[in-house]
Structure 1
Amino acid sequence: MKLNQELVTTLKSQKEIRCFNYDRKKIKTATLAAPIWLHFGAGNIFRGFIATLQNQLLEDGKSDKGIIVVETYDTEIIDLAYKPYDDLNVSVTLKRDGSVNKEIIGSVIESVKSDKEGWQRLIHFFEEDSLQMVTFTITEKGYSVSSYETDFEREPEASESLMGQLTYLCYCRYKKGGKPIAVVSLDNCSQNGKKLQESVCKFAEEWIKRGKMDEAFKTYLQDPKRVSFPWSMIDKITPQPNKKVQEMLIKAGFEEMPIIKTSKNTWVAPFVNAEEIQYLVIEDSFPNGRPCLEDAGVIFTTREEVERTEKMKVCTCLNPLHTALAIFGCLLDYKTIDEAVGNPLLLQLIEKIGYEEGLPVVTSPAMVNPYHFIKEVIEIRLPNPFILDSPWRIIADTSLKMPIRFGETLKAYKRQGENKIEQLTYIPLVIAGWCRYLLGINDAGEAYEVGPDPRGAILQKALEGLYLGKNENISLKLAPILSDESLFGVNLYEVGLGTKVEHYFAELTADTNVIQKVLDKYLMQ
């Protein structure tokens, strides 16, 4: 059986694969006549999480509109994972107890690419009074302005960057009558709504300065009753498509379940495999209304509570633990995160980072208990053997993650004074481990390719000349890195940690097969 609209009727009588009961043709007609939700970013987190929320509302009869999804970066995703399957996908939830839920998701009504025809469709959708919100899962790099300053000299409609294109689309809405809209980042980055707002406003200011847009457009963007940029916190592990899940679906009777790598190195499939636990907390600021997503488990609250929840997760209770496992997981050549957590030393390491060094300075939100959150992460989520997430996926762009995942905690200790920051052991050990990882040699002495990172080449060059067993110039090589506040939020030498990291690095590079010995030495203190 091939995944398409015709299959839906057949599957409604089956128990193994859950399928929606709503009239998708009717939903599509209503959506295209008066769209309420556009989403940019057609990847796994959207299909495996965001789309499932609206699917639940449609199934429960609490909405009669679907989502229009847009892909601007890797448009092959639309050609390979959407169009051949009538924009349907199979959501596969993998639970730690071994049970699996398979569900066909039909909430995506149309998929759009950023070609000429697609952009005309987007302008049309943005000009519709009914449009309530535009959401994004485009990764933190997608909000960059500095890389696209040449766009300022172009005509807005010819912008090559997504942020420039978004600004132009908002301008089209403004020119059409200026109806309200919420522009919502759902990306896993700190203060995501602020980043999105700053990028859009920067483009608007530059184009207004050059006489390419009306001065009043800036006022429109800065009025939260007309254009809001809610902050959010999102959390759900959705790794790349897994071959074991593919085999499971083929065994269940599905045909044509290919796992394909696009020319931009994105892995896509007609299915998404993901963990069972998920969180989405959003600032409740929607000037043109919104779907009742709280009925699907989304938490709507104040900006302050979103920020507390986001900081709790990103700076203390999940992301730092993930990064620590990724760093040492790569060095010890683990293929999956659950294998890494199975190492008692790495399990102890993340426990100590979370409970002992993170919790004392955590910003505690009202709706989520940080201790229970860490416990759930360590005991249920990360050890899940069915997720098969890779350290190599998580290690990407670590230079962008360090100042948030560890830097915020370091700054919190610095504010406390009393030399408490100097007493830290495990966060400095992870920083030393990351520098060790950048050498491109695992614990067994085998070379590997360092994962993608915007500063990776520069950092690797700074460490040239350091080898396992040859580390006489450690201080000279590490000093420019460890003193860089843009990497760690603080100058590690000024807060009393630089020399400690150098010492750990020296031990981690003393020879092959020493990493577990070093971890054991400090974890057993």
Structure 2
Amino acid sequence: MTTRLSLSALPSLSGVAVPGYARDGLSAGIVHFGVGNFHRAHQAVYLDDLFALGEAHDWALVGAGVREADEAMRQKLGAQDWLTTVVEQEADASTARVTGSMIDYLPPGDSAAIIACLADPAIRIVSLTITEGGYYIDPASQRFDPSHPDIAHDAAHPDAPKTVFGLILAGLQRRRELGIVPFTVMSCDNIPGNGHVTENAVAGLAALLDPDLAAWVKASVAFPNGMVDRITPATSDREKSLLAEQFGVDDAWPVFCESFRQWVLEDNFPAGRPALEKVGVQFVSDVAPYEHMKIRILNGGHATIAYPAGLLDIHFVHEAMEHPLIAAFLRKVETEEIIPVVPPVPDTDLNGYLALCERRFANPKIGDTIRRLCLDGSNRQPKFIIPSALDRENANGGLTGLALVSALWCRYCFGTSDSGAVIEPNDPNWDRLTVQARKARDNPAAWIEMTDIYGALSQSKAFRSAFTRALQSLWTQGTKATLEAYLADRL
């Protein structure tokens, strides 16, 4: 028998931790855009921990969104009083908790209501998890793209914006007009310099409206950089069934994740912040070293195992780590090409960090899928793989492994695995990528000539040569034989 999740049902739950504070004692202090699984397994959990200490009860979360899919999440969470069941899974144990740090969710599309909430003096932080592809970044330059149609719309209709950045800017403008201190804008996405990227988007949109407004944003609004980490797969019927069977909870959208979590933040919150250092958040003056480590080693590692596993019809990430060729491929690329160009990180052994990542990837309980790791390569490769390859090029170092990672992505985007199984579209730019991948089968240069993705790397003779060898091997020998050749230094 299962119990439907709600506030009234909390006392009847058994074997599940529940909020140790009164929900009616919370008040809003943060508006969060992008109430997805990662946010509910990360920021919402840290706040739940802090509230349980009896602190920061005026820093509760209010959700917000701009996509049609956000309404489905809002309806499901609203029906269970904005509660979420978070299940932490390791190989030898699973634990469940209900978090209560979110107290409302603004209707997506109701820009007037969202802007009014953003203008409330009680809101002192606006945070975001909108994915790597949500920042309107030109892939090659990694700079804000003011010509994007969504941004052009918000510039033309500032009172009825469609984007997160249009809403944030409208909220900031309202506060400026009312003489209210600006809120801090805090990105929680896996983007190098995510605070700077977010500032460029908000100020870039402001510049299309009024140069003086853009200057005010840059001078008056804080955009701290941050590094976030917790492996959190998508929720499917599998997770809902596991929660019901193991813990007796009926949650419309539970979150499953690993027990490991990390959050490193620059301490730049002029309007105030909750004392998150009391629950494990690390505040530093410069987050860049931690960010480089995580994005290059962990996210780059995910990209490294994703495409060979996808081509070999492997479903789960832990199954990929059980494949000896893929596990060895990951370690060789990381130790020989990625880690050597990662700057030192305070009090951190990079090889030890890699070993930690390998253990996390191999966790059999997580249920993270290869398809999720393969998603949105056109936005992820320029952030997770191509920068390492450029650094190797600039250092005159070998980049055969990184070129192979790129070739595996190209082969994946052809749309069939080595067995001939169809790979369903898995990128916002899938149609374009498929066309280029088909051209590249006979002319490998066609792939890396996508300069909006590869930038200066497109001109690298060493990368072109290594990519060409790798892709030709993938087509003539297959994924397994190509990995074997690379591991034997024969590629």
TM-score (norm: length of structure 1):
0.86
Secondary structure of 2:195's partner?
A: helix
Alignment of 1:76-155 (within 5 A): 76-96=71-91, 98-116=92-110, 119-144=111-136, 145=146, 146-152=148-154, 154-155=156-157
Q: Partners in 1 of 2:454 and 2:347 — Cα distance?
A: 29
- Alignment of 1:336 with 2:316, yes or no, is yes
User: Structure 1 452/231 Cα, relative in aligned 2: closer, same or farther at 3 Å?
Assistant: same
- Alignment of 1:42 with 2:39, yes or no, is no
Alignment of 1:293-304 (within 5 A): 293-302=276-285
Q: Partners in 1 of 2:389 and 2:332 — Cα distance?
A: 15
- Contact 1:242–1:273, Cα closer than 8 Å, also in 2: no
- Alignment of 1:58 with 2:51, yes or no, is yes
Provide, for residues 231-263 of structure 1, a one-character-per-residue CA deviation record: whole Å limited to 9, x for no partner: 1111111111144432232225646444xxxxx
Secondary structure of 2:17's partner?
A: strand
User: Structure 1 208/424 Cα, relative in aligned 2: closer, same or farther at 3 Å?
Assistant: closer
Provide, for residues 260-303 of structure 1, a one-character-per-residue CA deviation record: whole Å limited to 9, x for no partner: xxxxxxxxx1x10011111111111000110011111111112x
Aligned to 2:258: 275
Aligned to 1:394: 373
Question: Paired residue for 1:306, among 287, 302, 306?
Answer: 287
Aligned to 1:266: none
User: Structure 1 489/299 Cα, relative in aligned 2: closer, same or farther at 3 Å?
Assistant: farther
- Alignment of 1:285 with 2:271, yes or no, is no
Aligned to 2:163: 161
Alignment of 1:297-446 (within 5 A): 297-302=280-285, 305-315=286-296, 317-378=297-358, 380-417=359-396, 420=397, 423-446=398-421
Question: Paired residue for 2:192, among 187, 190, 193?
Answer: 190
2:293 aligned partner, one-letter code: M
What displacement does 1:346 show?
0.2
- Alignment of 1:220 with 2:216, yes or no, is yes
Aligned to 1:516: 480
2:49 aligned partner, one-letter code: Q
User: Structure 1 17/360 Cα, relative in aligned 2: closer, same or farther at 3 Å?
Assistant: same
User: Structure 1 465/53 Cα, relative in aligned 2: closer, same or farther at 3 Å?
Assistant: closer
1:324 aligned partner, one-letter code: T
What displacement does 1:76 show?
2.5
1:59 aligned partner, one-letter code: A
2:403 aligned partner, one-letter code: P
Structure 1 unmatched runs, 5+: 210-214, 259-268
User: Structure 1 327/25 Cα, relative in aligned 2: closer, same or farther at 3 Å?
Assistant: same
Aligned to 1:451: 426
Secondary structure of 1:85's partner?
A: coil
Provide, for residues 454-475 of structure 1, a one-character-per-residue CA deviation record: whole Å limited to 9, x for no partner: 2x32232134367xxxx5xx3x
Q: Partners in 2 of 1:130 and 1:25 — Cα distance?
A: 16
- Contact 1:184–1:230, Cα closer than 8 Å, also in 2: yes
- Contact 1:90–1:272, Cα closer than 8 Å, also in 2: yes
Provide, for residues 348-398 of structure 1, a one-character-per-residue CA deviation record: whole Å limited to 9, x for no partner: 0000111121111111221443222111001x2000011111111111111
What displacement does 1:152 show?
4.9
Secondary structure of 2:462's partner?
A: coil
Q: Partners in 1 of 2:347 and 2:455 — Cα distance?
A: 28
Secondary structure of 1:6's partner?
A: coil
2:413 aligned partner, one-letter code: L
Provide, for residues 158-198 of structure 1, a one-character-per-residue CA deviation record: whole Å limited to 9, x for no partner: 12222112211111111110413211111111221111111
- Contact 1:151–1:164, Cα closer than 8 Å, also in 2: no
Q: Partners in 2 of 1:465 and 1:306 — Cα distance?
A: 41
Q: Which is further off, 348-357 or 491-500?
A: 491-500
Q: Partners in 2 of 1:250 and 1:406 — Cα distance?
A: 39
Q: Partners in 2 of 1:386 and 1:444 — Cα distance?
A: 27
Secondary structure of 1:448's partner?
A: coil
Q: Partners in 2 of 1:235 and 1:151 — Cα distance?
A: 33
Q: Partners in 1 of 2:157 and 2:422 — Cα distance?
A: 47
TM-score (norm: length of structure 2):
0.91
Provide, for residues 198-250 of structure 1, a one-character-per-residue CA deviation record: whole Å limited to 9, x for no partner: 111122121126xxxxx3x3343122xx4101111111111111444322322
User: Structure 1 232/495 Cα, relative in aligned 2: closer, same or farther at 3 Å?
Assistant: farther
Aligned residues: percent identity?
Answer: 24
Structure 2 unmatched runs, 5+: 137-145
What displacement does 1:149 show?
3.8
What displacement does 1:449 show?
2.1
Q: Partners in 2 of 1:152 and 1:63 — Cα distance?
A: 35
Aligned to 1:494: 460
Q: Partners in 2 of 1:349 and 1:313 — Cα distance?
A: 19
Q: Partners in 2 of 1:492 and 1:121 — Cα distance?
A: 46
Q: Partners in 1 of 2:460 and 2:38 — Cα distance?
A: 39
1:504 aligned partner, one-letter code: A
Q: Partners in 2 of 1:62 and 1:463 — Cα distance?
A: 54
Aligned to 2:139: none
Alignment of 1:172-251 (within 5 A): 172-208=174-210, 215=212, 217-223=213-219, 226-251=220-245
User: Structure 1 165/228 Cα, relative in aligned 2: closer, same or farther at 3 Å?
Assistant: same
Q: How many residues align?
A: 475
